[in-house]
Amino acid sequence: MDTTNMSQDWSVRMLFKTLKFLSATGISCIGTLVVILYFAQTSLIYPSSFPAGSRTEVQTPDRYDIPFEDVTVDTEDGEKLRLFVMKQSDPELRNRGKTVIICCANAGNMGHRLPIASAFYKILQYNVVLFSYRGYGLSTGKPSEGGIKIDADTVFKYVKGDKDLENTSTILYGQSLGGAVAIYLAEKYESEVAGLIVENTFLSIPALIPTLLPIAQYFTFLCHQIWPSDKSLPNITNTPVLFLSGLKDEIVPPAQMRKLFDICQSPNKVWRQFANATHNETYLKDGYWTSIIDFSSDYIDKKIQ
């Protein structure tokens, strides 16, 4: 009996079985990944329950000594959005000044963005409208690109229909996902927008996937949440745009922000970068609010005049 050949035959059979197992496992893993990417991507992209308590615990502007109205508005598809509307006490600023709509970054709720709202209200003396997308904070529903666009439309129309704010100049501000929302609004309502400010946002969700989930980069064709800012931004040709980029952004590659700046067709576009700023802390860096103040006076005020 040739034990060597028997051993080799056994080895070959075992190798074949192992490869077959690994192949099947790989296919199974890929199949699972494909299913998750397609059917569960809204849950992955919009972590509306993070951090814990975000769906039930929402800080209010009075914590920052800001008077406000707690407003609920109905969307055209039956959801209820919660808004904090912070109006200046001075009648001239309230009725003839500027109003910023803050489009929130992902995760959390509008209460987590109150430090930013406070700066706009107290330093720039803007009226401030802050809202939670559907499925975030105390707003009803489940988030999706189509749904959040309806939410943004609803809030924009609310501002334009409010008796105090209807004649104010509207500025759109968005961080990360909020930047994509703000770009969407600026493209759709450009004639009614006085200025656009975006911070640490991305070209599109498919363009971001290879950075956040490298294993899924070959399956971006399955992505149905797109947020195509790279397609929308070039259509904004008249509105002043301020780009605020944290160069240590660990979530959105700063190169994507720079690309957005490069493809922007507005003749009044401004680039400001912050060397040691990460994705969530750029607004805390020296020069951040000075950049917004300068942009407001140099570009928005001139457009209004």
d(CA 140, CA 81) in angstroms, rounded, equals: 7
Q: Which of 48, 54, 144, 176 is catalytic?
A: 176
Q: Could you tell me the pLDDT band of residue 34, with boundaries at 50, 70 and 90?
A: low
CA 84, 90, 96, 97 dihedral sign is negative
Q: Could you tell me the pLDDT band of residue 22, with boundaries at 50, 70 and 90?
A: very low
Domain 48-304 belongs in CATH node 2.40.170.20? no
pLDDT score at 44: 84
Does residue 27 have a pLDDT over 90?
no
pLDDT score at 211: 85
Residue type, 92: E
Question: How confident is the model over 171-180, as a mean pLDDT?
Answer: 98
CA 177 distance to own-chain centroid = 1
> Is 249 noted as a catalytic residue in this protein?
yes
Question: How confident is the model over 157-181, as a mean pLDDT?
Answer: 98
Return the DSSP state at 64: G
Do residues 102 and 74 lie in contact, with contact meaning Cβ atoms separated by under 8 Å? no
Q: Mapping DSSP to helix (H, G, I), strand (E, B) and coil, where does residue 227 land?
A: coil
- The partner residues of 73 in beta bridges, in order of sequence, read 81
d(CA 139, CA 199) in angstroms, rounded, equals: 24
pLDDT score at 212: 79
Average pLDDT of every residue of the chain: 90
Does residue 24 have a pLDDT over 60?
no
pLDDT score at 218: 73
Q: Could you tell me the pLDDT band of residue 209, with boundaries at 50, 70 and 90?
A: confident
- The partner residues of 171 in beta bridges, in order of sequence, read 100, 195
pLDDT score at 10: 42
- The partner residues of 99 in beta bridges, in order of sequence, read 127, 170
> Is 279 noted as a catalytic residue in this protein?
yes
Residue type, 305: Q
- What is the percentage of the chain residues whose pLDDT exceeds 90? 78
pLDDT score at 39: 64
> Is 286 noted as a catalytic residue in this protein?
no
Q: CA angle, 183 as apex, 182 and 186 as ends, to 5°?
A: 85
Identify the helix (H) or strand (E) that includes residue 273: strand 269-274
β-strands 169-175, 195-199 pairing: parallel
pLDDT score at 302: 80
Residue owning tokens 């490069």: 262
Stated pTM of the model: 0.88
pLDDT score at 217: 73
Question: How confident is the model over 72-86, as a mean pLDDT?
Answer: 98
Q: Mapping DSSP to helix (H, G, I), strand (E, B) and coil, where does residue 85 land?
A: strand
Question: How confident is the model over 279-297, as a mean pLDDT?
Answer: 97
Q: Which of 49, 118, 279, 294 is catalytic?
A: 279
Q: How many CB atoms lie within 10 A of CB 38?
A: 13
pLDDT score at 33: 60
- The partner residues of 175 in beta bridges, in order of sequence, read 199
Q: CA angle, 200 as apex, 199 and 204 as ends, to 5°?
A: 115
- What is the percentage of the chain residues whose pLDDT exceeds 70? 87
Residue type, 157: K
Q: Which of 249, 266, 291, 296 is catalytic?
A: 249
Q: Could you tell me the pLDDT band of residue 257, with boundaries at 50, 70 and 90?
A: very high
